[in-house]
Structure 1
């Protein structure tokens, strides 16, 4: 399967209103719009008449009208020319659906299934969307290693002084990479400790599963007692899905979940958790965009003990995802 055969979340539901929206989907320009009947549509963002961007047009009824000459297209891409009634223009369309407050698209005819975002019983907190000026591989690197949590992040992660105590284990299959990190949690405000069920001296455990159809990281964070004999009840879980815009830019959609027992505090916790998660992710974004050399090759790079996943994920991205079918936009 090609990269664009897989489901990708390309826009938050709340970001599509009355006007059509242009997005990049694995190197392709796509226009999203919602008809008067509420049905979603995803078309190639180019009128076949004179190649005007359809996203510059407007929605009329259940049709998208090109602003240049008034040609219009329904949600399947079938068109009408006002001046040439015998002409039946057609625009490429994509399969489209909604899940977890995001709009997902894929190639028609693909058998790919929507990826699982969280295990049953978890409460959906938020869906966040970021555009990062860095290649896909470097963005994936950031979410696959724990060492940067010492200096980049404020809350979750490990103290720099205790990073040598963090245990890291890697498990691989032909189509997945799994990483389990466990070590002392850096200090957090007392209120957060209480809400998360964390106690001073606990170990922070991060379980990461990197999959490649599409490229995504399933993240599970929880705490154990200092001797690892007792697992705290509350946990946070999330999925980060990656959409390459071109060879130097990547968009990510982050889906966050919490233990169901915390849902009773959702009016308080959801805004707080969303704010903190957005703040921490923007720190990731700032670091990634500050990398001096964004070459994705690892040749000449000095790697530490937490960097082993970098080579493992690159091999699978190339073999399972790109398959040499990706042509980046200029």
Structure 2
């Protein structure tokens, strides 16, 4: 299962204390534990001896102890047996995972896999928290929702554009071998004048939503800005986000959103701590609205055949191909073309869902 060869966030840092925790990723149950010295370990949540859930056990020193017979496992998969001291059991390599702690989360990948840890911080931004949400759809359909702005007038109060402005929104798509980049530019939706003054946003500014999707693992990085139509000056929005899409089961996924703040001149006056919390609360609400919308889909299998695709769906189709090729290591199959509202003419395929 190639999905497990990529780094995925599976727990918030504060959730992993002395007790081992079980998580689910791409249909696999994985136990994650923290050693007494602060190190991390992760295995398939099943003791190689007699299949007890290792998450039912506890940690002694640098080893995870099985609650059934007391067999003890180090993070590298080597074990010892209290009842047979001379024995040297070893877990299967496929059941051992690498684990690291970064950006306020615990990340895992299959041990020995050569995936590079994703980089998504940026100069001038500082980490400002992590949000996690559960989506009642496969992760492919969650990604579909996050990489187009056509739904934003009907779902969001802060993100995206107003309905009457959508015809004016331009979507510039740039494709590379391992990424899909989209820059959406259009009139900003109405926001309170006090907010415009706080962040020096012209009342008639253009709102720019730029995102780049990558596929090892599947995630998208978002930057927002405003453009003064007279001076062409760019006003950076004090929010950057990196959204990771984890497959959980055939009809469920987890969304981890890493938030970064750039408060600019507000930090100079010591007001950064006052400005950022409301933005974080607003982002959490916006994401909850997405989750509620996704739960209402009539068909969660992800079948594209017969769907009518529009001008904002080009990135969606391109991303599917890269999920197959990069994330799953499969040869890409034919997908419908995105057009201007006409039915797809090429052969459609069923979305490959996460293994159960």
Where on the TM-score scale, by shorter chain, does this alignment land: which range? over 0.9
* Contact in 2 for aligned 1:152/1:284 (Cα 8 Å): yes
- Displacement of 1:285 in angstroms is 0.8
Q: Is 1:279 the counterpart of 2:282 in the alignment? A: no
Q: Which residue of 1 aligns with 2:53?
A: 53
Q: Which residue of 2 aligns with 1:199?
A: 202
* Contact in 1 for aligned 2:227/2:235 (Cα 8 Å): yes
- Displacement of 1:60 in angstroms is 2.3
2-side partners of 1:89 and 1:190: how far apart? 67
- Alignment TM-score, normalising by the size of structure 1: 0.93
Q: Which residue of 2 aligns with 1:296?
A: 302
2-side partners of 1:228 and 1:56: how far apart? 62
Q: Which residue of 1 aligns with 2:30?
A: 30
1-side partners of 2:230 and 2:292: how far apart? 35
- Displacement of 1:235 in angstroms is 4.1
- Displacement of 1:112 in angstroms is 2.1
* Contact in 2 for aligned 1:70/1:81 (Cα 8 Å): yes
- Displacement of 1:37 in angstroms is 1.0
**Greater shift after overlay, 75-84 or 47-56?**
75-84
* Contact in 1 for aligned 2:138/2:353 (Cα 8 Å): no
* Contact in 1 for aligned 2:263/2:272 (Cα 8 Å): no
Q: Is 1:85 the counterpart of 2:88 in the alignment? A: no
Cα distance change, pair 39–147 in 1 and its aligned pair in 2 (3 A): same
Where 2:278 maps in the other structure, the secondary structure is helix
2-side partners of 1:324 and 1:84: how far apart? 45
- Displacement of 1:233 in angstroms is 4.1
Q: Which residue of 2 aligns with 1:222?
A: 225
2-side partners of 1:294 and 1:327: how far apart? 10
Where 1:311 maps in the other structure, the secondary structure is helix
Q: CA RMSD in A?
A: 2.1
Where 1:147 maps in the other structure, the secondary structure is coil
- Displacement of 1:102 in angstroms is 1.1
**Greater shift after overlay, 108-117 or 14-23?**
108-117
- Displacement of 1:328 in angstroms is 4.3
Where 1:151 maps in the other structure, the secondary structure is helix
1-side partners of 2:296 and 2:194: how far apart? 32
Where 1:51 maps in the other structure, the secondary structure is coil
Q: Which residue of 2 aligns with 1:318?
A: 324
1-side partners of 2:223 and 2:31: how far apart? 34
Match for residue 172 of structure 1 among 163, 175, 183:
175
Q: Which residue of 2 aligns with 1:132?
A: 135
- Displacement of 1:85 in angstroms is 2.7
Where 1:4 maps in the other structure, the secondary structure is helix
1-side partners of 2:208 and 2:108: how far apart? 33
1-side partners of 2:139 and 2:159: how far apart? 23
2-side partners of 1:86 and 1:324: how far apart? 44
* Higher relative contact order (Cα pairs below 8 Å, separated by 6+ residues): 1
2-side partners of 1:248 and 1:277: how far apart? 24
* Contact in 2 for aligned 1:135/1:249 (Cα 8 Å): yes
- Alignment TM-score, normalising by the size of structure 2: 0.86
Where 2:277 maps in the other structure, the secondary structure is helix
* Contact in 2 for aligned 1:125/1:256 (Cα 8 Å): yes
In structure 1, the gaps of 5 or more residues are: none
Superposed CA deviations along residues 40-60 of structure 1, whole A, max 9, x for unmatched, are 111221101111111111222
Cα distance change, pair 126–282 in 1 and its aligned pair in 2 (3 A): same
Q: Which residue of 2 aligns with 1:16?
A: 16
In structure 2, the gaps of 5 or more residues are: 332-351
- Displacement of 1:142 in angstroms is 0.9
Where 2:31 maps in the other structure, the secondary structure is strand
**Greater shift after overlay, 136-145 or 90-99?**
90-99
